[in-house]
Structure 1
Amino acid sequence: MRAVSAMKGAFVADAASMGLHWIYDANKIKELTGQHKDAAFFEPPSCPFYSYKSGQFSPYGAECMGVLRGLASLEPFDAQAFSEDYAKFLKSYSGRLNHASKELISNIEQGKKFPACGADDAQANSLVKVPVAVARFLGEDNWPARVEEVIRAHQNNDVAVMYGVASAHILHRILTTGVNPREAIGWAAEDGSPLADEARMKLRDAVKYASSHDATEAASHWGSSCRLPGAFLVSVHVMLNAKTYEDAIRTNIMASGDQCSRGCFIGACMAAANGGESIPPSWVVKVDDFDDVANLTDKLMKCGKK
């Protein structure tokens, strides 16, 4: 099933990108990889902001795992219950917590309810939630509203929602029609698409830019950090020019910056379009918690189907 491939593609991409995560100097990445070292699952992991062993998920991948665990266990879905469950998961996480996660935990402990418990945070964490949230509500008429609730549970911010939902529409288009990412992006940029006007205009700008620039230039132009809309637009750029899942993930890593949030979205779209077999088996075996991902994605796909 495409939705399962999308989720697995997101998690593998995150783990593959973790070794060079948050290095903002593309030349430094070129220097580290040299002529012989693979950017994917780079050894030794060299992120300047945390020290994880190769095969682990980045903090973004860990967030995605929290979404997967929560959405696979809450039946029926309830936004307040999900907010509380997600805060509990994040509080138990022993790795690096970002601002949005710390704020959610604090707000829940203060008794704030959904959506006020969500952090006022406009970063690319919203893209990370998309593969699992779209899969969970696939086939439901009100799926965009449910995806928004999943985002607001953590990030109660209109910009995060706008670009998270825009990403969700692109992935949903791939899952439901079988088009490739380039075609889904083209559809999303058209007049009358369900994207918010601002997101649609930015998407059109990204499509134009992608025709004559490489991914490293795009990261410099749109911004390589976690901020939106930059992370969304760089992701789009990579998918417009990539031929395969593997090519897309490596290109995204070499572009520098916040490759992991982008990688979750890119990996989901590329795997959804090209199938689970497009994810290199040699990468899958390097992911520490892939068995958990496989089991939980199967469980999630049974939710809402009774």
Structure 2
Amino acid sequence: MSEKTKKRAKGAVMGAFIGDALALGPHWYYDLEKFREDYGEWVDDYTAPKKGRYHEGLKAGDLSQSGYILKMLLESIMENKGYEEKDFCRRIDNGLFPQLDGTPVSGPGNYTSQSIRDAYRNRVVNNLQWGEFEGHADTTEAIERTLGITAYYAGNLKEACRNVYSNTILTQSDELVVSMSVAFNAVLWELINGHPLDEQISGKLMQEVKNNSLPFHAVTGDDLTPTKKGVPEPSRLGRFASPDALLTPSFIARAAGDPGVSIEPAWKVSLVYGMPCAIYHILPSVYYLAARFKDDFESAVLHAVNSGGQNMARAMLTGALVGAQVGIDGIPARFIEGLTEKEILLKLTEQLFG
């Protein structure tokens, strides 16, 4: 990895931790008037959750359970010098599950997501083995941890996506959700390797499909041109039926740069694409903010935080994409300083990326 690539990988990981912690206080406000009443017109720093809200009892700068699991995955990668699924699963079994009770309000971060609750029930209550059960959550929970895999394997897209896929299906089985999770990580990989989030990025990703580095199906010709009559289906038949998840980022990046497309202020992107938790609401808004504010980490993550609804996933993933574009040096120091586990997280990223 070059020094610039290392800095972008560090930026992606630290950006994710920062986005996660920034949204901890005002997480899951679907009533925007109540959001503003509790936190003012603009949240611009770490805040503690209010009494009776999600994550009650944590303090400003703490990580949610998503951040906790990402850190756990990175620690596993660091100690094994690569992603070892058995080790990661062992850490979940021995380090996370004993802190849970199967209910939503439990465990690190004082809230456990649906996919992890499902995994807990299958492993602890039903005594099933990893790989013997399915998870039907339609959320970004797998992306929130697998982005660490992509950062580590920044030198090998095929290996990154192979491990992202394998880790994702531990907890989420819906093929559309899995394909969108892999696609996000492919976008992140491109950004860590220096490509901006612009309207050309999907073309680069489709070239990787042709190179058999991405497990997507592709039928159309270059630039989505029609296939010709009598021409057989191409041999690059990937795991996923459609490459559409790879095409979305370019369309949204084009919209973000088009003066005829206006979302003002930018936090209202959540009203355009939807405030709920499902992956098909979250990823378009993340791509939009990361493309619009590609050089401005603070604006990107704060618009994500102030957007309401599932703003934690939105901020975490936006932080990863913009952190990858600006690098660790482009993240305002106050956001790093405000993290409760600043020293631990900085040491971890240094050990991983040098």
In the superposition, the TM-score normalised over structure 1's length comes to 0.85
How do residues 163-242 of structure 1 correspond to structure 2 at under 5 angstroms?
163-176=180-193, 178-180=194-196, 182-183=197-198, 186-188=200-202, 192=206, 194=209, 196-203=242-249, 206-207=252-253, 210=256, 211=258, 212-214=261-263, 215-242=266-293
Q: Which residue in the other structure is 1:146 paired with?
A: 163
Q: Does 1:82 align with 2:88?
A: yes
- In the alignment, is the contact (CA less than 8 A) between 2:301 and 2:318 conserved in 1? yes
Equivalence for 1:136: 152
Percent identical across equivalent pairs? 17
Secondary structure, in 3 states, of the residue corresponding to 1:229?
A: helix
- How many residue pairs match? The answer is 298
- Counterpart code for 1:136: Y
Shift of 1:238: 0.9
Listed as ranges, the matches of 1:257-296 within 5 Å are 257-296=309-348
* Alignment partner of 1:159 is 2:176: yes
Q: 1:278 to 1:86 in 2, by over 3 A?
A: same
Deviation digits for residues 149-185 of structure 1 (CA, Å, limit 9, x no counterpart):
1222232332332121111111100112x133x32x6
- Bigger Rg over Cα: 2
* C-alpha distance in structure 1 between counterparts of 2:116 and 2:252, whole Å: 29
Distance change >3 Å, CA 244–CA 45, structure 1 → 2:
farther
Partner of 2:229: none
The alpha carbon displacement at 1:76 in A equals 5.3
What CA distance in whole angstroms lies between the structure 2 residues aligned with 1:227 and 1:6?
22
Q: Distance in 1 between matches of 2:292 and 2:338?
A: 26
- Counterpart for residue 226 of structure 2: none
**Higher helix content, 1 or 2:** 1
1:298 is matched with 350
User: Conserved in 1, the CA contact under 8 Å of 2:62 and 2:340?
Assistant: yes
Match of 2:123 among 108, 129, 132: 108
Provide the C-alpha distance between the structure 2 equivalents of 1:249 and 1:188, rounded to a whole number of angstroms.
23
TM-score w.r.t. length of structure 2: 0.75
Let me know the Cα RMSD of the aligned residues. 2.7
CA distance in 2, matches of 1:71, 1:157: 26
Unaligned runs of 5+ in 1: none
Higher mean C-alpha deviation, range 38-47 or range 48-57: 38-47
1:118 shift after superposition: 5.3
Give the conservation status (yes or no) of the 8 Å contact 1:71–1:77: yes
Tell me the distance in 2 between the aligned counterparts of 1:235 and 1:256: 13
Matched with 1:49 is 54
